C-alpha cells in the first residue's frame, strides 16, 4: 500500500546528525522487532519526515536530510533556565548531561539537559536535544495500512496490526 495521510506506517530507520565540522554522528536506529510505528499525516512526526515518506510503499528504502529549520529549529541562546537547588532536595542534584523531565505552567511536558551545577542552582538547556542539528535518515518501509476508526479518533497508531493495547 502507498503511504498517505491517515495510514499507520511502520519503518526501520538509522538516524545520524551532521555536526558543524561536517562529521556524521550516529544517533539511533530501530529494528524489525521494534520499528517506529506512527499515524501518518496527523502531526506526530516532523512534517519534512512525513513529506519524504509520502507515496512510498512497503519495501521501499530512502535516504534524506532534514535541516534544522525543517526539523527542530535553531538553537535559542535564551532557552536556558537557572533552576533553584531546592527543586532537587528530594532527588538530589543531577549530574551534568542528565535529562530532566519538566512541566511548564500549562502542563506541557518537556526535557531539559543539565549544563552546569553550581552553588546558585542547576543551569539547564531547554532547547530540544536535536535543535540546530542537520538530521540524516536511512529509512525502510516495513508496513503501511489504512488506520482504523479507533486509531483516527485516538490520534495515534495502535501498532502495526491495529491491535496493540494502549
Q: Where are the alpha helices (DSSP H) in 22-116?
A: 47-53
Residues of the chain scoring pLDDT < 50: 165-166
pLDDT value at residue 166: 42
- How much is the pTM? 0.82
- Nearest CA to 61 out of 2, 142, 159, 136 is that of 142
144 strand-pairing partners:
9
Domain residue ranges of the chain, discontinuous segments joined by +: 7-72+131-154, 80-125
* CATH number of this structure's domain 7-72+131-154: 3.10.50.40
The gap from C-alpha 16 to its chain's centroid, in whole angstroms, comes to 13
Residue found under cell 495500512:
145
Q: What is the pLDDT of residues 36-83, one digit of tens each?
A: 999 999 998 999 999 999 999 999 999 999 999 999 999 999 999 999
Q: Could you tell me the fold of the domain covering 80-125?
A: Thrombin, subunit H (2.40.10)
Burial of 129 (0-12, 13-18, 19+ CB in 10 A): middle
Length of the chain: 166
Amino acid at each position: 500500500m502507498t503511504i498517505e495521510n491517515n495510514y499507520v506506517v511502520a519503518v526501520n530507520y538509522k538516524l545520524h546528525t551532521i555536526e558543524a565540522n561536517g562529521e556524521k554522528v550516529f544517533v539511533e536506529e530501530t529494528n524489525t522487532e521494534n520499528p517506529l510505528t506512527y499515524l501518518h499525516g496527523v502531526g506526530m512526526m516532523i512534517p519534512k519526515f512525513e513529506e519524504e515518506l509520502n507515496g512510498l510503499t512497503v519495501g521501499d528504502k530512502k535516504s534524506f536530510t532534514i535541516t534544522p529549520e525543517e526539523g527542530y529549529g535553531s538553537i535559542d541562546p535564551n532557552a536556558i533556565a537557572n533552576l533553584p537547588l531546592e527543586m532537587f532536595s528530594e532527588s538530589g542534584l543531577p549530574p551534568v548531561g542528565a535529562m530532566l523531565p519538566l512541566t511548564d505552567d500549562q502542563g506541557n511536558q518537556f526535557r531539559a539537559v543539565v549544563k552546569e551545577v553550581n552553588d546558585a542552582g542547576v543551569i539547564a538547556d531547554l532547547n530540544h536535544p536535536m535543535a540546530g542539528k542537520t538530521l540524516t535518515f536511512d529509512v525502510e518501509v516495513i508496513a503501511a495500512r489504512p488506520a482504523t476508526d479507533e486509531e483516527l479518533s485516538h490520534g495515534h497508531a495502535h501498532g502495526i496490526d491495529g491491535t496493540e493495547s494502549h
